[in-house]
């Protein structure tokens, strides 16, 4: 019978035998996270999305992430029994109270986390097999597991600030317009915290923290709206098979913000192509919850009840708006300016 705790210890013991000589430290909204690997290839794949959070703090780490691949280690990790897992990478039949596991067999990689030790592990068979999307939201599932015991929640959302201090959450599933609007707002001079996943502080004072600096845009959208940024692409040869990926801190370091006070939620929706104007209208907290919770929890099958409760707390506390995105990019950024100044006046 498969015992998850034993499997975690086995993976940790294998990693202990390796020289995890590539060590990095990031500051995630005041929480220190240590990352260590034996592999310069894996480090080059996973670290850039987090590089803007690099820290030299000497505080104890709140979370440690160890990552490795079988091709570069002396003893490879065995796979967990695949028949325990569903298509979400979740195994409902094994106790995951302390140790959690996320495993989608066809990707030949496994994520593990011990709540007690606050150690996350990532193991992939071969660094060449790391899916391109994993590199854009490095260790996403481990951050989600860790946030369970913090006043934090990983959110499938972008975040933008008008003034470098007050942040707006822009949640939504792929195709809702959140990445396009975040990049458009960055180019119009606003501050960027993320366009796909950010971390929210879910108790007062509510805050939004940047997690990844990797902006991702569907290739057809990129070709239509952002061709001027072609020289900034991380993947100029493969973006049409993946998504167009840019690392914001490399090109707009002064506009990449690490944290902001959360002032509101803008739920984007793409208007009909014939509509040029972008408009903002108030929505209820219930409507905002319906726009945020399903897309955030869809890819994160663990401790959903706690995450649902945290998201509910935030939508109850913050003003929520629907943002109907018209086709004119100048009118789009103007509409953002209007809602932020209106909300600023209310709070003044």
Partner 1 sequence: MNQQVAAEVFEDECIIANLDSGLYYSVQGIAAGLIQALPCADPDAAIATICASLGEQRATAIAELSSIWQELINEQLVVDRVSSNAALGTATAAKEYKRSELNRYADMQDLLLLDPIHDVDEDGWELRE
**In the window 18-47, what residues touch partner 1 (CB under 8 A)?**
none
Interatomic CA distance for residues 206 and 317, integer angstroms: 9
Yes or no: say if 268 and 323 are a contact pair by the CB < 8 Å rule: yes
Nearer to partner 1, 55 or 88 (CB): 88
Own/partner contacts of 295-298, CB < 8 Å, gap of 24 or more, are 295/156, 295/171, 295/172, 295/173, 296/153, 296/154, 296/155, 296/156, 296/157, 296/171, 298/156, 298/173
- Which is nearest to 159 in space by CA: 314, 331, 330? 314
Interacting residue with partner 1 among 1, 19, 87, 237 (CB under 8 A): 87
Query: Does residue number 88 form part of the binding site for partner 1 (CB under 8 A)?
Result: yes
Nearer to partner 1, 300 or 332 (CB): 300
CB of 265 to partner 1, least distance (A): 14
CB of 139 to partner 1, least distance (A): 20
Nearer to partner 1, 27 or 134 (CB): 134
DSSP string, 261-281: EEEEEEEEEEPPTT----EEE
Nearer to partner 1, 297 or 325 (CB): 297
Query: Does residue number 304 form part of the binding site for partner 1 (CB under 8 A)?
Result: yes
Stretch that binds partner 1, among 180-188, 200-208, 289-297, 323-331 (CB under 8 A): 289-297
Interacting residue with partner 1 among 266, 289, 320, 324 (CB under 8 A): 289
Interacting residue with partner 1 among 22, 34, 55, 105 (CB under 8 A): 105
Contacts (Cβ under 8 Å, ≥6 apart) of 117: 64
The DSSP output letter for 238 is T
Stretch that binds partner 1, among 25-33, 55-63, 130-138, 299-307 (CB under 8 A): 299-307
Query: Does residue number 5 form part of the binding site for partner 1 (CB under 8 A)?
Result: no
Query: Does residue number 198 form part of the binding site for partner 1 (CB under 8 A)?
Result: no
Interacting residue with partner 1 among 188, 242, 312, 327 (CB under 8 A): 312
Interacting residue with partner 1 among 20, 41, 61, 290 (CB under 8 A): 290
CB of 80 to partner 1, least distance (A): 7
C-alpha 287: how far from chain center: 22
Nearer to partner 1, 249 or 319 (CB): 319
Query: Does residue number 336 form part of the binding site for partner 1 (CB under 8 A)?
Result: no
**Looking at the DSSP assignment, which residues form a beta bridge with residue 281?**
322
DSSP string, 97-160: SSEEEEE-GGG-EEEEEETTTTEEEEEES-GGGS-HHHHHSTTHHHHHHHHTTTTEEEEEEEEE
- Tokens for 199? 């971390």
Query: How many Cβ atoms from other residues are within 10 Å of residue 8's Cβ?
Result: 20
Query: How many Cβ atoms from other residues are within 10 Å of residue 254's Cβ?
Result: 8
CB of 298 to partner 1, least distance (A): 5
Interacting residue with partner 1 among 30, 40, 204, 294 (CB under 8 A): 294
- Which is nearest to 283 in space by CA: 309, 265, 271? 265
- Which is nearest to 106 in space by CA: 133, 88, 127? 88
Interatomic CA distance for residues 345 and 348, integer angstroms: 5
Stretch that binds partner 1, among 35-43, 73-81, 181-189, 268-276 (CB under 8 A): 73-81
Interacting residue with partner 1 among 8, 46, 67, 85 (CB under 8 A): 85
Interface positions with partner 1 (CB under 8 A): 70, 76-82, 85-88, 92, 105-106, 108, 125, 129, 173, 284-286, 289-290, 293-295, 297-298, 301, 304-305, 308-309, 312, 316
């Amino acid at each position: 019978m498969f015992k998850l705790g034993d499997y975690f210890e086995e993976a940790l013991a294998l990693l202990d035998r390796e020289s995890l000589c590539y060590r990095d430290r990031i500051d995630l909204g005041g929480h220190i996270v240590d990352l260590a690997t034996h592999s310069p290839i894996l480090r080059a794949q996973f670290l850039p999305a987090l590089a803007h959070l690099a820290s030299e703090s000497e505080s104890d780490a709140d979370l440690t992430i160890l990552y490795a691949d079988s091709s570069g280690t002396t003893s490879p990790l065995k796979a967990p029994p695949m028949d325990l897992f569903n298509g979400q990478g979740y195994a409902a039949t094994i106790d995951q109270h302390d140790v959690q596991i996320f495993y989608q067999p066809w990707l030949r990689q496994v994520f593990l986390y011990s709540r007690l030790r606050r150690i996350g592990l990532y193991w992939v068979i071969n660094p060449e097999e790391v899916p391109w999307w994993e590199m854009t939201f490095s260790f996403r599932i481990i951050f989600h597991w860790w946030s369970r015991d913090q006043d934090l929640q990983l959110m499938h959302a972008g975040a933008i600030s008008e003034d470098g201090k007050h942040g707006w959450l822009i949640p939504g599933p792929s195709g809702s317009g959140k990445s396009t609007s975040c990049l458009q707002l960055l180019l119009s001079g606003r501050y960027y915290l993320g366009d796909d996943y950010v971390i929210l502080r879910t108790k007062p004072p509510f805050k939004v923290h940047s997690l990844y600096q990797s902006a991702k845009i569907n290739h057809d959208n990129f070709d239509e709206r952002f061709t001027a940024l072609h020289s900034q692409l991380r993947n100029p040869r493969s973006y049409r098979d993946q998504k167009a990926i840019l690392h914001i801190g490399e090109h707009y370091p002064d506009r990449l913000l690490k944290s902001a006070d959360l002032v509101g939620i803008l739920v984007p929706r793409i208007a009909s192509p014939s509509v040029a104007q972008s408009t903002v209208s108030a929505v209820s907290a219930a409507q905002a919850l319906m726009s945020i919770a399903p897309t955030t929890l869809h890819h994160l099958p663990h401790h959903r009840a706690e995450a649902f409760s945290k998201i509910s707390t935030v939508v109850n506390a913050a003003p929520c708006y629907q943002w109907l995105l018209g086709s004119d990019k100048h009118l789009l950024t103007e509409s953002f300016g209007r809602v932020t100044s209106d909300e600023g006046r209310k709070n003044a």
